[in-house]
Chain A
């Protein structure tokens, strides 16, 4: 009885091995075919579409990168950030505004591997405006949300930047009551977003 079981197991294992070898050879063939296709000059409509797709803002910028605009004073506009920051006005949804600011911080972190440093709104805002080592501008200097180098929410209260770590920043709007840390506040946390 035991011997029969062992024979069955052996036969089963052999079949599985054969199946694996077969599937692997098919995969290799497919990979080779796709590589050949990729090396062929793009002529299909699908390839053209992929070339016109928006560049990833987190790709490393090149010297003549269209995402960068160099200003006469030496500052460099990072257009994906600056364009996004132009949506910060009185009409934007409060949660959406936080998402945009979070995106600016995220782009800053992409450039410098850490968040802007500070515990006051002015300090963070100035760094987003170009007061940083490479003089990169992440926030439109003409943004409607700017007043006296402070980034204000829809109710005119400076956002609060809660520095949790080099990689994690909580951004808070005081909400309609214009008092921070009350029930009507809006807040966003990059790390929490990532984990969700």
Chain B
């Protein structure tokens, strides 16, 4: 039943016009960022708000627990190749070893050369990631996972383990918080932002954390909130058409139709001050959301004319959800001047990796989506580096890392090719890429692929690797590259359990985590 909007009360008008907007969680979060109300002035400031000391950290989260055992594959010549072929059975990628599942001994992997290591191949869907690895733009942190303290097979039953090991929700939370032995309070991305946003982003016009995949624990904190965008830009108020097309003309003026008049009236009413705290808070939410929208949309539109992200994504046939999310991130990086932040953290995700069944059908397609998306994003960052208009940017300003709930069991849960899958496990492999990454290498310690072996959880029989590198160590290296000093109280606040593990910054130790260079403050 449609209502005649020309004859409604002020109360009805407010309710109808903005309730949709109020239900958008991320917009509500922006109430804490009252300073953003002045965002309209941002575009008028002109000049350079962001200098050459810009950095962005991008998190790609693979939801469901990606089977990374099929991403890095020992191939012929690697002593673990036989174990891979025989143990993985029906879910294994043909790796050159002859088995009943691979009678011809085919090798379908994409071979990579790892310095000082035995031969490995990459999943055949990861064409772009292999190229990035070959070009030393991407690397892997192997057997990384949630840990409350260093753990091995011998002390597994006596050591403190991560809470609710093997459960989706809890392991996702612990990957994002980097605290495995306490209830969740905040994400490590949010803690970085809480401690450094004001110092790093003195010209900030919006949150330094932007999520293209909705709310997430990585960016949730007590005093900072992420701004949420869609793959096509900011989230506009409901009821006025996509990006206010039903209410605004292309020059930004109000249309003379009823929707335009309603939107104009709404914006005027939202400028009123209210004595009641809830009414005032409501107004603040809408005002700040509108202000953020303006900035985000300006940023997205500010891509240098000599960089064509649409064409790059088209060339990579990257049109999935995660690809579009990464395109938004690329555009926001290109338009960083509008947001005035020297440091930005982005979040995107891709779901569907909980492949208890039909992993042979599902995983290749998912990895293909992922690969095209990261291939396009990496090419986009290089194109921005080559821009003659945006001369402040360089390829080494952006580091992207991947994470997932957990790895999956080494052995499959069935013998039928079409229905078999793998189940929840633990230590996984994560890739990082970008111009700053010391790519073309494995970091951490690659596990012994043996059920009942030195890296296997002793209470099981399926091959669940006990991590040899903690999320804390992995994340601390990225935080340091971002600008958090080694050994600082801030580093301790962000990663309170870090000192339980071997120092990830000690290049003479065995942690082997120098996948990014340490942060060097710019000379002023």
- Do chains A and B interact in one complex? yes
B358: which A residues are within 8 A, CB to CB? Answer: 181
A-side residues, CB < 8 A to B, are: 114-115, 117-120, 122-123, 160, 162-166, 168, 179-182
Whole-angstrom CA separation of A180 from B413 in the bound complex: 8
Q: Name the residue of chain A whose CB is nearest to the CB of B161.
A: A117
User: Is the C-beta of B280 less than 8 angstroms from some C-beta in chain A?
Assistant: no
Task: Tell me how far the C-beta of A146 lies from the nearest C-beta in chain B, rounded to whole angstroms.
Answer: 17
User: Is the C-beta of B165 less than 8 angstroms from some C-beta in chain A?
Assistant: yes
Q: Is the pair A118, B459 in contact by a Cβ cutoff of 8 Å?
A: yes
Q: Name the residue of chain A whose CB is nearest to the CB of B172.
A: A165
Task: Tell me how far the C-beta of B464 lies from the nearest C-beta in chain A, rounded to whole angstroms.
Answer: 7
Q: Is the pair B459, A163 in contact by a Cβ cutoff of 8 Å?
A: no
Q: Is the pair A119, B164 in contact by a Cβ cutoff of 8 Å?
A: no
3 closest A-B pairs by CB: A181-B357, A165-B169, A163-B167
Q: Is the pair A120, B356 in contact by a Cβ cutoff of 8 Å?
A: no
Q: Is the pair A180, B414 in contact by a Cβ cutoff of 8 Å?
A: yes
User: Is the C-beta of B53 less than 8 angstroms from some C-beta in chain A?
Assistant: no
Task: Tell me how far the C-beta of A162 lies from the nearest C-beta in chain B, rounded to whole angstroms.
Answer: 7
Q: Is the pair B168, A165 in contact by a Cβ cutoff of 8 Å?
A: yes
Q: Is the pair A123, B164 in contact by a Cβ cutoff of 8 Å?
A: no
Whole-angstrom CA separation of A160 from B421 in the bound complex: 13
Number of B interface residues, CB 8 Å? Answer: 26
Q: Is the pair B459, A120 in contact by a Cβ cutoff of 8 Å?
A: yes
Q: Is the pair B356, A163 in contact by a Cβ cutoff of 8 Å?
A: no
A162: which B residues are within 8 A, CB to CB? Answer: 356, 424
User: Is the C-beta of B87 less than 8 angstroms from some C-beta in chain A?
Assistant: no
Whole-angstrom CA separation of A109 from B170 in the bound complex: 16
Whole-angstrom CA separation of A21 from B332 in the bound complex: 62
Q: Which of A122, A166, A179 contacts B459 (CB 8 A)?
A: A122
B-side residues, CB < 8 A to A, are: 161, 163-170, 356-358, 409, 413-414, 416, 419, 421, 423-425, 459-462, 464
Q: Is the pair B425, A119 in contact by a Cβ cutoff of 8 Å?
A: yes
A179: which B residues are within 8 A, CB to CB? Answer: 414, 416, 419
Task: Tell me how far the C-beta of B224 lies from the nearest C-beta in chain A, rounded to whole angstroms.
Answer: 26
Of A123, A162, A181, chain B has the most CB atoms within 10 Å of the CB of A181
Q: Is the pair B419, A182 in contact by a Cβ cutoff of 8 Å?
A: yes
Q: Name the residue of chain A whose CB is nearest to the CB of B164.
A: A166
B460: which A residues are within 8 A, CB to CB? Answer: 118-120, 122-123
A117: which B residues are within 8 A, CB to CB? Answer: 161, 164-167
Whole-angstrom CA separation of A122 from B462 in the bound complex: 11
Q: Name the residue of chain A whose CB is nearest to the CB of B424.
A: A119
Query: Which secondary structure dominates where chain A touches chain B?
Result: loop
B419: which A residues are within 8 A, CB to CB? Answer: 179, 181-182
Q: Is the pair A166, B163 in contact by a Cβ cutoff of 8 Å?
A: yes
Q: Is the pair B423, A119 in contact by a Cβ cutoff of 8 Å?
A: yes
Q: Which of A114, A118, A182 contacts B166 (CB 8 A)?
A: A118
Provided the pairs A181-B421, A182-B419 are in contact, do residues A163 and B166 lie with their beta carbons within 8 angstroms? yes
The 25 listed contacts between A and B (C-beta, < 8 Å) are A114-B163, A117-B165, A117-B167, A118-B166, A118-B459, A119-B423, A120-B423, A120-B459, A120-B461, A120-B462, A160-B413, A163-B164, A164-B169, A165-B168, A165-B170, A166-B170, A179-B414, A179-B419, A180-B357, A181-B356, A181-B357, A181-B358, A181-B413, A181-B421, A182-B419
Task: Tell me how far the C-beta of A32 lies from the nearest C-beta in chain B, rounded to whole angstroms.
Answer: 38
Q: Name the residue of chain A whose CB is nearest to the CB of B355.
A: A181
Provided the pairs A114-B164, A120-B460 are in contact, do residues A163 and B424 lie with their beta carbons within 8 angstroms? yes
Whole-angstrom CA separation of A20 from B171 in the bound complex: 53
Task: Tell me how far the C-beta of A121 lies from the nearest C-beta in chain B, rounded to whole angstroms.
Answer: 10
A114: which B residues are within 8 A, CB to CB? Answer: 163-164
Whole-angstrom CA separation of A183 from B416 in the bound complex: 14
Q: Name the residue of chain B whose CB is nearest to the CB of A180.
A: B413
Task: Tell me how far the C-beta of B68 lies from the nearest C-beta in chain A, rounded to whole angstroms.
Answer: 16
A119: which B residues are within 8 A, CB to CB? Answer: 166, 409, 423-425, 460, 462, 464
B164: which A residues are within 8 A, CB to CB? Answer: 114-115, 117, 163, 165-166
Other A-B pairs, 14, CB within 8 Å; known A162-B356, A165-B169: A117-B161, A118-B459, A119-B166, A119-B409, A119-B460, A160-B423, A163-B164, A163-B167, A164-B167, A165-B168, A166-B169, A166-B170, A181-B356, A182-B419
Of B164, B356, B409, chain A has the most CB atoms within 10 Å of the CB of B164
Whole-angstrom CA separation of A179 from B357 in the bound complex: 10
Task: Tell me how far the C-beta of A186 lies from the nearest C-beta in chain B, rounded to whole angstroms.
Answer: 15
B464: which A residues are within 8 A, CB to CB? Answer: 119
Task: Tell me how far the C-beta of A184 lies from the nearest C-beta in chain B, rounded to whole angstroms.
Answer: 11
